[in-house]
Amino acid sequence: MMKKFGGWLKENILALATPVVLLGVWEITSQMGWIRASLLPPPSVIFKVLVELVKTGEIFANLGISILRVAEGFIIGATLGLVIGVQVALVKKFRTAASLIFGLLRPIPVLAWVPVLILWMGIDEGSKITVIAIGSFWTVLVNVAQGIRNVDKKYLEVATILEKDRKTLLTKVVLPASLPAIFTGVRVGIDVAWRSVVAAELIAASSGIGYMIMYARELSQIDVVLVGVLSIGLTGILIEQLLKLLEKRLLKWNVNLHES
Amino acid sequence: MSVTAAKSQTLVIENLNKTFRIKNSTVEVLKDVNFAVKPGEFISIIGPSGCGKSTLLRLVVGLDGEFDGGISLGGNLIKGPGVNRGMVFQEARLYPWLTVEENIFFGLGQQQSPEEKKYIVQEHLELVGLESFAKAYPHQLSGGMQQRVSIARALVNRPQVLLLDEPFGALDAMTRINMQQEILRIWETEKTTILLVTHDIDEAIFLGDRVIVMSQRPATTKTIIPVELPRPRDRNSYDFIKLRKEIHTKFFAEVEVPFAYSI
């Protein structure tokens, strides 16, 4: 156990040391009065506020609400993206019929949908979840469709020679072969979802981490604002690591994963 | 309990012509290819690279149905893929998400019961000598081992004809010789008809009952040379080398002498 940790530390020493050094420089320059604390408080102050927010549970409550929204929106968006992505990849007529509409809608940033959705659905949960769903929908759709269409033709030929029917071909060859691409879609999809929840909450919300940041800004509490912003990043790292773990589990055979 | 193979039948290729359409022009790939393969015969096909040897195998296995002429197995015209023909490519083409065992299992159809399937897979693992690697994933195997799995997968349905498309081309010299002996052993136990495409004259003579030499594109069957050497064959025997020289001459007769040498 200790040995394992030692090895891990050795590997990641540079990645860990860099932020520590930067924090040190930041703290020292702040203490010397080179940085105005009302604009950028020193790390020690930010940390104190973080501890306070953790103690009162305020930060977890807000993060929890945001995470829940992401989960709901992502599940809806990713499911739709998966189903439609499969259709896009396999049904040529559908692909042709949808190409222009998809081409038009896909580049629209999720933020542009926020005013539309507020008018349509009000500022309740519905509009926020829909914003997240839209973001993850396109990411998952594109990756799934591309993953399926890029399945090595050589794999398909083997199945054809062995007289496999279409169902076997899809479930036993196409699906596993495109799983890495699908997983990439899911990962990027969650990333997009996490970014858009904050964006949605910044505009209209009465709870969530985005709301916490906005509210603190109105009260000019720069330290709370910074804690909020950083906690978004930290949660992002956590989600990313969880997904990487899951991917390694599910795609044991994917040699490319083991190297990085 | 093993599945008894249907009696091997004669493979007949008659007046086979194949063209590819590239943009607006047509390229003739195969022209008037004619030959018959007796049941259980081992045929080597050699020819210059890009001449259409591989295309010929793709037509026989049924991956490409657009050709003129006839390919028939035991009097039945071949119209598409079928488990009575198995194929091994230059790359092993194993599914990386399946273990060795599962890859071989994938070759089987719906006819057998689960116990039978298990038995057949085990039998073929033994045939190619990979019993102890049943649970390994393809990326954990060497190139030669991967190719053995590929051969096992092609054989599980007891095909009447086994098509080998430069199966040892990507292997190192030692492994290649090893695999050639291996495929002979398998051929002798399974008694399948084998069509082997190769660019290695040595390999063609060492393995084949007959060697079909194909010409530059459009490929036709230039000559068919019977290899009347006793098995096991010795690559360094006088007759072997004589035959190699003969084929070499035929093989390279059309190749122009490079400019630099023709002073």
Q: Is the pLDDT of residue B133 over 90?
A: yes
Of B203, B195, B88, the C-alpha closest to B152 is: B88
User: Mean pLDDT over all residues of chain A?
Assistant: 88
A177 touches chain B (CB under 8 A): yes
Mean pLDDT value of segment B83-90 = 93
Tell me if B263 is assigned to some domain.
Answer: no
**Res. B145 pLDDT band, cuts 50 70 90:** very high
- Decide if A122 contacts A205 (C-beta within 8 A): no
- Decide if B199 contacts B16 (C-beta within 8 A): no
Mean pLDDT value of segment A121-148 = 90
Tell me if B115 is assigned to some domain.
Answer: no
pLDDT computed for residue B240 by the predictor: 94
Question: CB distance A163–B109 less than 8 Å?
Answer: yes
**Res. B216 pLDDT band, cuts 50 70 90:** confident
pLDDT computed for residue A244 by the predictor: 86
**Res. B5 pLDDT band, cuts 50 70 90:** very low
Question: CB distance B86–A161 less than 8 Å?
Answer: yes
Range of the domain at B50: 3-84+159-254
Question: CB distance B137–A158 less than 8 Å?
Answer: no
Of A181, A192, A183, A182, the C-alpha closest to A74 is: A192
Q: Is the pLDDT of residue B111 over 90?
A: no
pLDDT computed for residue A257 by the predictor: 62
Query: What's the distance, CA B165 to chain centroid?
Result: 5
Q: Is the pLDDT of residue B108 over 90?
A: yes
Q: Is the pLDDT of residue B38 over 90?
A: yes
* Residue in A157, A179, A255 closest to B139 by CB: A255
pLDDT computed for residue B195 by the predictor: 96
Cβ atoms within 10 Å of B263's Cβ, excluding its own: 4
Tell me if B139 is assigned to some domain.
Answer: no
Tell me if B165 is assigned to some domain.
Answer: yes
Mean pLDDT value of segment A171-192 = 90
pLDDT computed for residue A16 by the predictor: 86
Q: Most B CBs within 10 Å: which of A158, A172, A175, A259, as the mutation test of the B interface?
A: A158
Q: What is the pLDDT of residues A5-59, one digit of tens each?
A: 888 888 888 888 898 999 999 999 988 888 888 888 888 888 999 999 989 988 9
The total number of structural domains in chain B stands at 1
Q: What are the backbone dihedrals phi and psi of residue A224, each rounded to the nearest 5 degrees, phi first? A: -65, -40
Tell me if B102 is assigned to some domain.
Answer: no
User: Which chain B residues are Cβ-neighbours of A167 within 8 angstroms?
Assistant: none
Tell me if A173 is assigned to some domain.
Answer: yes
Q: Is the pLDDT of residue B255 over 60?
A: no
Chain B residue with minimum CA distance to A164: B109
Q: How far apart, in Å, are the Cα atoms of B220 and each of A44, B29, B132, B163, B212?
A: 83, 9, 44, 19, 10
Tell me if A84 is assigned to some domain.
Answer: yes
Range of the domain at A115: 57-259
B143 touches chain A (CB under 8 A): no
CATH code of residue B75: 3.40.50.300
Q: Token pair 């063209």 is at which residue?
A: B19
Of B228, B159, B224, B124, the C-alpha closest to B9 is: B159
> Which structure tokens are listed for A46?
């930010």
Strands B68-73 and B11-22: antiparallel
The one-letter amino acid at A1: M
Q: What is the pLDDT of residues B12-23, one digit of tens each?
A: 999 999 998 888
pLDDT computed for residue B44 by the predictor: 96
Mean pLDDT value of segment B84-111 = 93
pLDDT computed for residue A258 by the predictor: 53
Tell me if B228 is assigned to some domain.
Answer: yes
User: Which chain A residues are Cβ-neighbours of B87 within 8 angstroms?
Assistant: 161
Q: What is the pLDDT of residues A48-98, one digit of tens each?
A: 999 999 899 889 999 999 999 999 999 999 999 999 999 999 999 999 999
Mean pLDDT value of segment B41-60 = 90
Tell me if A194 is assigned to some domain.
Answer: yes
Tell me if A136 is assigned to some domain.
Answer: yes
Q: For residues B241 and A60, give the distance between their C-alpha atoms in angstroms, rounded to a whole number.
A: 82
The total number of structural domains in chain A stands at 1
User: Which chain A residues are Cβ-neighbours of B109 within 8 angstroms?
Assistant: 162-163
Q: Token pair 């190139």 is at which residue?
A: B143
Higher pLDDT, B248 or A205: B248
Please provide the DSSP assignment of A96-163 as one string: HHHHHHHHHHTTS-HHHHHHHHHHHHTTSHHHHHHHHHHHHHHHHHHHHHHHHHTS-HHHHHHHHHTT
Question: CB distance B96–A254 less than 8 Å?
Answer: yes
Q: Is the pLDDT of residue B3 over 60?
A: no
Q: Is the pLDDT of residue B71 over 60?
A: yes
pLDDT computed for residue A95 by the predictor: 92
Q: Kindly report the nearest CA distance between residue A253 and chain B, in angstroms.
A: 5
Of B155, B243, B231, the C-alpha closest to B205 is: B243
Tell me if B36 is assigned to some domain.
Answer: yes
Question: CB distance A179–B83 less than 8 Å?
Answer: no
CATH code of residue A123: 1.10.3720.10
Q: Token pair 């990313």 is at which residue?
A: A240
pLDDT computed for residue A122 by the predictor: 82
Tell me if B190 is assigned to some domain.
Answer: yes
Tell me if A34 is assigned to some domain.
Answer: no
A258 touches chain B (CB under 8 A): no
Higher pLDDT, B258 or A49: A49
Q: What is the pLDDT of residues B237-248, one digit of tens each?
A: 999 999 999 888
